[in-house]
Amino acid sequence: MNYKTSLMVAAVCLLSIIAAPIGGLCEPLAGPQILEQVDNNLQPGDLEMYRKIINIEPEGKKKEFVLWFLKKDRDKVVTLFVSPASEEGRATLRLGDNMWLYIPNVGKPIRITSMQSVVGGVFNNADIMRLDYSVEYDVVDLSEDQGQHLLELKAKTGAVAYDRLKMWVLKKELVPSRIDCYAATGMLIKTLHFTEVKDIGDGVVRPAVMETDSPLYKGYRSIMISANLKKRSLPDEVFTLNYLPRVKDLR
């Protein structure tokens, strides 16, 4: 092999190395990977944030609530009512599938269910005290629709509020734009619409607004606005029934 031929062979080898995918970076994300990224972007680890919930009735009447939201690990959630004054001091606790409501001056915390709502309106307790989606659902199908990922999710247990979800995910941001929620019978329970993708605090870029409507509550709408997110680690003691009366002292 002469010198010129050797140079050509070396050049071809170098080009093949450059063109080859590096460590699988060119491989598309699988469904479970997309769902994990969605969870990380919506609720990144241990945190606190504020949420305003606005319930709108068909005739236009509105009722607003402000909640302080605390999350630890993937299965512990506490919320504290900040306003209106009539609700101030109420708190909720979620540990996995179990939920409780604490009302000042009313004995011990009351058991509540995922399909009930501590604020009325279209959002239920599972929406307000939501765990990571990957904790409650398995990805059973991944496709593309309208330039977005479309995930078909199936509940891991019968204790979950919705049996199936259809989740449209923005490819660049890896956050939902819409989620259709279905009962085990196949009936559509509600649709969640996610808008205003922006920094809601601590560099977390995700939809600031989630709005829901339901064929079961025609003309009614509920809106949830998230803001002032901060990373915060709290001891496990905070996420217990005995601590609920003292949650307000952490603000």
pLDDT tens digits, one per residue of 40-76: 999 999 999 999 999 999 999 999 999 999 999 999 9
In sequence order, what are the beta bridge partners of 165?
A: 153, 181
Average pLDDT, the chain: 90
The predicted pLDDT at position 19 comes to: 40
pTM of the model: 0.86
Stretch 230-240: mean pLDDT: 97
- What's the Rg (C-alpha) of the chain? 23
Share of the chain above pLDDT 90, in %: 86
Instruction: Read off the tokens for 214.
Output: 């339901």
Stretch 146-165: mean pLDDT: 96
Q: Is the pLDDT of residue 24 over 90?
A: no
| Look-up of token digits 């070396």 | 10
Instruction: Read off the tokens for 131.
Output: 């765990």
The predicted pLDDT at position 22 comes to: 43
Chain centroid offset of residue 5 CA:
59
The predicted pLDDT at position 14 comes to: 38
The predicted pLDDT at position 16 comes to: 38
The alpha carbon dihedral of 44, 42, 130, 102 has a sign of positive
CA angle 162, 126, 248 (to 5 degrees): 175
Stretch 222-232: mean pLDDT: 97
Identify the three-state secondary structure at position 40. Answer: helix
Instruction: Read off the tokens for 249.
Output: 């002292």
Stretch 121-139: mean pLDDT: 96
Domains in the chain, CATH or no CATH each: 31-250 (2.50.20.10)
Q: Is the pLDDT of residue 142 over 60?
A: yes
Write the burial class of residue 148 (CB in 10 Å: 0-12 exposed, 13-18 middle, 19+ buried).
Answer: middle
